[in-house]
Amino acid sequence: MNMTSELSLANLNHLAEKYLERISLAKDISELEQVYQAAFSRKSGEISNIMHELKDLAPDKKKEIAPYAQDLRQKIETALANKKIQLGDVSQDQTFFDATVPSKDSGRGHIHPATQVIWEIEDFFRSLGFMILDGPEVDSTFFNFEGVNIPKDHPARDMQDTFYLDENIALRPHTSNCQVRAMREYGAPLRAIVPGRCYRNENRDARHEHTFLQFEGFMIDEGISIANFRDVIDQFFKRFINEKTETRIRPGYFPFVEPGFEFDFKCFCDGFCGLCKGTGWIEFGGAGMIHPNVLKHGHIDPDKFSGWAFGFGPERLAMIRKQIPDLRLFRSGDLRFLEQF
């Protein structure tokens, strides 16, 4: 049989009949698999060969025959797929794929618990007139460190140990990298928060992760003082913890603020509990009055403007409110965890 006779229309029709009949008579999956191989096996499948030979036909002939050959192939594929469903073997189907078979219902997802709390926090600050800004997760050592008053060789760089791409570029260890960027972009007065992912070279445990979220916040204007910070943070805890909670600040050191402090809120317990370890207070974040050097790097005149800044981890807030025991769960991808929220 020469090539042209094989590729005649009559021959294609004959093949169609032959295969459709073999498919309809197949009694089980292995018989159907044999039909599939006879038609489509790469080396010797009759239909595969025809599709291959089409390429070598003279253009006129190709134009005439190709649509019929395509049609033939499709008919046989569809018949195979339908028969496979009829024989009850769809799930293990490796050889051919029928896009019309409805998928198993995999359920509807929902917003990740960390994102839920981020959105809530953003709403709160938006209602107080804060902008919500975004910034780079891979940033220069200037914005990560020098810009926020952590010079080279300063011991504070150990606390912020991160992953370096080269000597001058690193994954940001805190969202404070956006302070100077925001000041340069928007000038003063300025009220902004920056939520985002940060990275540190940490030994992982229930409270430390190499990848975690932070919220940076700052308010800069003429005559801003710690009193403004206390007011904002009081309202924050009333909204996110409860109406009755109290706030406290205590001295703390961060190179980018002067004075610097840490801020806590009053624990839910009456006496001893694991969360506050019997102290009655829960440590929440760091804050302070923005250091004049940082304002200068941001091209803001420290003699005219002052401001406060804070940083905290929203995952910690979610952990406290929803009694999540381990920070690592957030990035575990474990549905048993995620489905609880």
Question: Rounded to the nearest whole angstrom, what is the least distance from the CB of residue 198 to ligand DAH in the complex?
Answer: 7
Residue 38, class by beta-carbon neighbours within 10 Å (0-12 exposed, 13-18 middle, 19+ buried)?
Answer: middle
Token digits of residue 18: 């032959």
Compare residues 113 and 288 and give the one whose CB is closer to ligand DAH. 288
294 touches ligand DAH (CB under 6 A):
no
Q: Which of 286, 298, 307, 314 binds ligand DAH (CB under 6 A)?
A: 286
Longest dimension (CA), the chain: 97
Strand partners, 93: none
Stretch that binds ligand DAH, among 37-45, 221-229, 281-289, 328-336 (CB under 6 A): 281-289
Supply angle C-alpha 246, 250, 254, rounded to 5.
130
Contact between 183 and 190 (Cβ < 8 Å): yes
Contacting ligand DAH within 66-125 (CB under 6 A): none
Question: Rounded to the nearest whole angstrom, what is the least distance from the CB of residue 182 to ligand DAH in the complex?
Answer: 12
Residues 6 or more apart in contact with residue 167 via CB below 8 angstroms: 141
Token digits of residue 302: 């420290």
Residues 6 or more apart in contact with residue 132 via CB below 8 angstroms: 122, 125, 126, 192, 193, 194, 195
Compare residues 84 and 200 and give the one whose CB is closer to ligand DAH. 200
Could you please report the per-residue DSSP string of 164-192?
EEETTEEE-SSTTHHHHHHHHHH-SSEEE
Compare residues 139 and 216 and give the one whose CB is closer to ligand DAH. 216
Q: Which of 69, 118, 220, 309 binds ligand DAH (CB under 6 A)?
A: 309
Measure the N-to-C terminal CA separation of the chain; round to a whole number of Å.
69
Cα dihedral sign for 267, 269, 275, 281? positive
Compare residues 241 and 294 and give the one whose CB is closer to ligand DAH. 294
By three-state DSSP, how is residue 305 classified?
coil
Compare residues 31 and 202 and give the one whose CB is closer to ligand DAH. 202
Q: Number of residues in contact with ligand DAH, rule: CB under 6 A?
A: 12
Contacting ligand DAH within 253-272 (CB under 6 A): 254, 256-257
298 touches ligand DAH (CB under 6 A):
no
316 touches ligand DAH (CB under 6 A):
no
Stretch that binds ligand DAH, among 187-195, 204-212, 305-313, 332-340 (CB under 6 A): 305-313
135 touches ligand DAH (CB under 6 A):
no
Question: Rounded to the nearest whole angstrom, what is the least distance from the CB of residue 330 to ligand DAH in the complex?
Answer: 17
Q: Which of 174, 291, 297, 316 binds ligand DAH (CB under 6 A)?
A: 174
Contacting ligand DAH within 181-220 (CB under 6 A): 216
In this structure, the number of other CB atoms found within 10 A of the CB of residue 235 comes to: 14
Residues 80, 99: Cα–Cα separation, whole Å = 13
288 touches ligand DAH (CB under 6 A):
yes
Binding site for ligand DAH (CB under 6 A): 174, 176, 216, 254, 256-257, 286-288, 309-311
